[in-house]
């Protein structure tokens, strides 16, 4: 509310002002960033290892010092004082500046890496060169823009992870979850793939070389996993390569459904995933900015499911493009593959429509039918139009478009760049096809739900405000209805911020998981049973 900001003072008032320690910490962190910036503008640092270390240490220590000062003298408990007064976390000037800076960084990273100092086939320059020593230490190769990004990404998850651990030190669910995302980012996304690169050409891989593989990144999030060059890489790398390829396939078709059935999609989205990891740590300060309106929910459903359709078509087309036609050479040919895809989609669609139709809203039913018809028509079209290109498009065009629109613009520039404007989970909510597939299962076939505690809700709105996925949690809680939503990533913050102990994330029997009461617990027993009869 604007009337709360009448003061003309340049310094903030508690709780939005910075302490002396926090100001010093900010200076320290900025100095670390300054080194990176100077390197970007080709200031040559004599000892790259030293200056890179100084820079990353300054950034990390600055952030940790700042957070320590914010939380160490406070008792364990919810720490949201002043969130909506601070410019950075309430779409104020600092919020917009941070948004612009991040967006700018992503645009340069994806489309103009030469400005960061990338030199193809030559010695790196700029900030990328600054990271060469670290990259050589890990993988033996010079750094790329992706290595710089990966390092900063990991550092961000680690330092803001520690901040988050302090902030929620009273909450073991939050702590364990944060340890988990920190571990998976550091080990699985950062160190293991880099070290694995050292094996390339080694006899253990039969002299082959593996594609860069973050093992926790599952198709369709890593939409490129089944592209021709990667398949070649896997298949040329002996048993290990073959095992990785198989792992890539079973992780989406076997592991994912089992874990999602047992725990909901949170096992991935807020315990393992790197995008989720960044959102939960560095993005935590922005979770309250997500749009909770019913309109936003409508847009979300259409956009995210369209991305699933897009990625399915694209991957099918890409795999199709490098398969052969001769069954005697290899059992999997272009035609068998397409028929297989069609059969699988029909099976899933058929089962859902048969058993779970009543759990889908009308528009979801129409949407599902629509998408199904489109895909089937395209596959059918292919068989009638003969060989050549798949569907109506060139697979390469489809892949490039997806990679540009979804892989770069959506997940990076908008997804992370706009943290301070749209909240921390824009990508996960509107764009991530993996989240959509997991969510689809979570809604229809999972033990996970957020239980509403009888009649204790006071409709205060903390749960909805702090839901990063824009779920209006209160709408359910005040009706005594369990929250079973496809988009819920199970971060547990709604439960944490609830002042009345109303919400609990839990796994339980499917029966009675989705329910809605007209009258809540605590009222006349006869009246309740009369009105709640279904």
Judged by the rule CB under 8 A, the positions of this chain that interact with other proteins are: 1, 3-4, 6-7, 13-16, 75-78, 80-86, 170-173, 176, 293-294, 451, 453-456, 458-462, 464-465, 474-475, 478, 492, 495-497, 499-501, 504-506, 508-509, 511-512, 518-528, 531
* Exposure string for 447-473, b = 16+ CB within 10 A, e = fewer: bbbbbbbebbbeebebbbbbbbbbbbb
Given phi > 0 = left and psi -120 to 50 = alpha, else beta, which region is 470?
Answer: left
**In the structure encoding, which two tokens stand for residue 418, read together?**
């706009």
Q: Is 237:210 a contact under the CB 8 Å cutoff? A: yes
CB of 199 to other proteins, least distance (A): 37
CB of 533 to other proteins, least distance (A): 13
CB of 251 to other proteins, least distance (A): 24
What sign has the CA pseudo-torsion 220, 224, 227, 230? negative
Q: Is 189:214 a contact under the CB 8 Å cutoff? A: yes
Residue 204 gets which letter from DSSP? G
Element spanning 434, H or E: helix 433-444
Of 180 and 401, nearer to other proteins (C-beta) is: 180
Cis peptide before 15 (omega within 30 of 0): yes
CB of 126 to other proteins, least distance (A): 41
CB of 297 to other proteins, least distance (A): 11
Of 44 and 459, nearer to other proteins (C-beta) is: 459
Cβ neighbours of residue 356 closer than 8 Å, sequence gap 6 or more: 444, 445
CB of 21 to other proteins, least distance (A): 15
Of 319 and 496, nearer to other proteins (C-beta) is: 496
Cβ neighbours of residue 394 closer than 8 Å, sequence gap 6 or more: none
Bridge partners of 521, per DSSP, are 523
Of 85 and 247, nearer to other proteins (C-beta) is: 85
- Rg (C-alpha) for the chain, rounded Å, is 25
Of 90 and 124, nearer to other proteins (C-beta) is: 90
Of 180 and 236, nearer to other proteins (C-beta) is: 180
CB of 331 to other proteins, least distance (A): 45
Of 82 and 238, nearer to other proteins (C-beta) is: 82
Residue by residue, DSSP assigns 26-64 as HHHHHHHHHHHHHHHTTPPPS-HHHHHHHHHHHHHHHHH
Give the integer Cα–Cα distance in Å for 85 and 95.
12
Q: Is 281:410 a contact under the CB 8 Å cutoff? A: no
CB of 130 to other proteins, least distance (A): 39
Of 73 and 329, nearer to other proteins (C-beta) is: 73
CB of 220 to other proteins, least distance (A): 29
Helices of type H across 92-144 = 93-111, 126-130, 132-138
Of 320 and 476, nearer to other proteins (C-beta) is: 476
């Amino acid at each position: 509310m604007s009337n709360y900001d009448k003061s003309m003072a340049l310094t903030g008032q508690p709780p939005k002002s910075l302490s002396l320690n926090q100001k010093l910490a900010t200076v320290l962190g900025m100095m670390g960033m300054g080194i990176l910036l100077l390197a970007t503008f080709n200031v040559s640092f004599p000892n790259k290892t030293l200056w890179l270390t100084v820079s990353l240490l300054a950034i990390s220590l600055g952030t940790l010092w700042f957070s320590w000062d914010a939380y160490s003298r406070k008792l364990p408990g919810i720490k949201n004082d002043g969130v909506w007064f601070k410019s950075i976390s309430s779409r104020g000037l600092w919020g917009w500046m941070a948004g612009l800076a991040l967006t700018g960084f992503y645009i340069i990273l994806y489309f103009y890496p030469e400005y960061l100092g990338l030199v193809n086939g030559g010695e790196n320059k700029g900030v990328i060169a600054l990271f060469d020593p670290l990259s050589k230490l890990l993988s033996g190769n010079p750094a790329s823009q992706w290595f710089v990004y990966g390092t900063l990404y990991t550092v961000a998850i680690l330092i803001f992870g520690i901040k988050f651990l302090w902030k929620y030190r009273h909450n073991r669910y939050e702590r364990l979850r944060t340890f988990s995302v920190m571990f998976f980012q550091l080990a699985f996304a950062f160190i293991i793939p880099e070290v694995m690169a050292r094996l390339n050409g080694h006899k253990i891989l039969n002299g082959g070389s593996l594609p860069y593989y973050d093992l926790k990144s599952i198709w369709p999030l890593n939409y490129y996993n089944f592209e021709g060059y990667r398949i070649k890489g896997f298949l040329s790398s002996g048993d290990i390569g073959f095992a990785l390829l198989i792992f890539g396939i079973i992780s989406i078709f076997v592991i994912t459904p089992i874990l999602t059935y047992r725990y909901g999609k949170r096992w991935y989205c807020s315990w393992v995933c790197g995008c989720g990891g960044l959102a939960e740590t560095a993005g935590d300060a922005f979770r309250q900015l997500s749009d909770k309106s019913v309109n936003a929910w409508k847009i979300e459903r259409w956009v995210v499911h369209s991305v699933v359709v897009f990625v399915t078509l694209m991957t099918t087309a890409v795999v199709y493009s490098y398969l052969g036609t001769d069954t005697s050479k290899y059992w999997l040919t272009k035609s068998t593959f397409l028929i297989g895809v069609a059969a699988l989609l029909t099976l899933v669609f058929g089962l859902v429509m048969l058993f779970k139709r009543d759990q889908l809203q009308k528009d979801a039913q129409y949407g599902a039918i629509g998408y199904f018809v489109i895909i089937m028509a395209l596959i059918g079209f292919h068989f009638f139009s003969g060989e050549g290109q798949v569907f109506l498009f060139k697979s390469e065009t489809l892949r490039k478009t997806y990679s540009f629109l979804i892989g770069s613009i959506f997940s990076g520039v908008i997804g992370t760049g706009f943290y301070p404007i749209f909240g921390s989970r824009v990508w996960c909510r509107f764009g991530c096809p993996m989240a959509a597939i997991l969510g689809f299962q979570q809604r229809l076939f999972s033990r996970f739900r957020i239980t509403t505690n009888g009649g204790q809700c006071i409709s205060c709105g903390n749960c909805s405000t702090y839901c990063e996925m824009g779920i209006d949690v209160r709408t359910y809680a005040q009706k005594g209805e369990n929250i079973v939503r496809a988009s819920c990533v199970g971060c547990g913050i709604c439960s944490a911020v609830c002042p009345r102990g109303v919400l609990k994330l839990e796994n339980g029997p499917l029966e009675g998981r989705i329910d809605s009461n007209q009258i809540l617990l605590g009222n006349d027993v006869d009246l309740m049973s009369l009105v709640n009869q279904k």
